[in-house]
Amino acid sequence: MAMDNWQRSSFCGEGDACLSVAATPGRAIRLTETGDPARSILATDPDTWAGFLRSLKESHRHD
């Protein structure tokens, strides 16, 4: 099985409380907390992930 190419959030500072994201060849988006030693992983599809990001960006514009 190929290893996921995890990317750490650009908003992450120092420490382990960071979100890491990886896209898989099967069109799944995988999410995990960088500091999670068990590597608990949440998975979603690209359309749902894009909607989540749009929602976050939209709510940030109103702050």
> Does the pLDDT value for residue 56 go beyond 60?
yes
pLDDT at residue 17, as a whole number? 77
Helix (H) or strand (E) holding 31: strand 29-33
Domain ranges, ordered by start, for the chain? 7-61
pTM value? Answer: 0.69
pLDDT at residue 1, as a whole number? 36
Average pLDDT over residues 28-49: 87
pLDDT at residue 11, as a whole number? 76
pLDDT at residue 50, as a whole number? 94
Going by C-alpha positions, the residue among 32, 58, 62 that lies closest to residue 44 is 32
3-state secondary structure (DSSP) of residue 21: strand
Write out pLDDT tens, residues 24-37: 888 899 999 888 86
CA distances from 30 to 4, 6, 37 (A): 9, 9, 16
| Runs of H (alpha helix) within 1-63 | 46-61
